[in-house]
Amino acid sequence: MIKKILIVAIATALFAGNGGSMKDKKESAVFGGGCFWCLEAVFEDVRGVEDVVSGYAGGSVENPTYEQVCRGRTGHAEVVRITYDPEVVTYEDLLEIFWKIHDPTTLNRQGADVGTQYRSVIFYENESQRELARKSMEKAQKHFLDPIVTEISPLKKFWPAEEYHQDYFRRNPYQGYCQAVVAPKVEKFKKEFKGWVK
């Protein structure tokens, strides 16, 4: 009886010390691959992803605006911060999707979107992510004729974009850019990653 009480007490202490749940551990990934509307729309549909925020990273200006980033003088890339449940989807899974939904072989551009703010980039938050990104890029290279030019850099600061950029495709599915550029990427994801669609 004492043994059972002790086990329950230890389990309760561990449970409470972990913010109330042993399964509440969430992780995040920050990727850039052209316009953030495209990446946001795809990753919002990935099973295990709980939140996607469009924003800016990799620059030198504090709290940049969209207009500043578009001028290409702040050094920021348009990125998304993906919050996910690693028990459902892994960082490696997200990277695999990332390589397929943009062209990582074009320097500072995606289609008609040109400039350093549209560069292909992975901002890692720890050494584990850096190593996984590097290995994933080596594996992905086998699927491209041209060399991958994706930047792999430490995340110093993520700045959320303005509210009107958030959930852009969901709120504006019939807008011209969404129809011509975003929708085809979402469809490509759903076709190639059927098992990962929510």
For residue 70, indicate whether it is catalytic.
no
**Do 163 and 74 contact (CB within 8 A), yes or no?**
no
- What count of residues does the chain have? 198
Say which residue the tokens 């990582």 belong to: 104
Q: Describe the chain by its helix, strand, coil percentages, rounded to 5.
A: 40, 20, 35
Residue 52 amino acid letter: V
Sign of CA dihedral 155, 70, 83, 149: negative
Out of 35, 38, 70, 178, pick the active-site residue. 35
Name every residue whose Cβ is closer than 8 Å to that of residue 5 and which is 6 or more positions away in sequence: none
Query: Which sequence positions are flagged as catalytic?
Result: 35
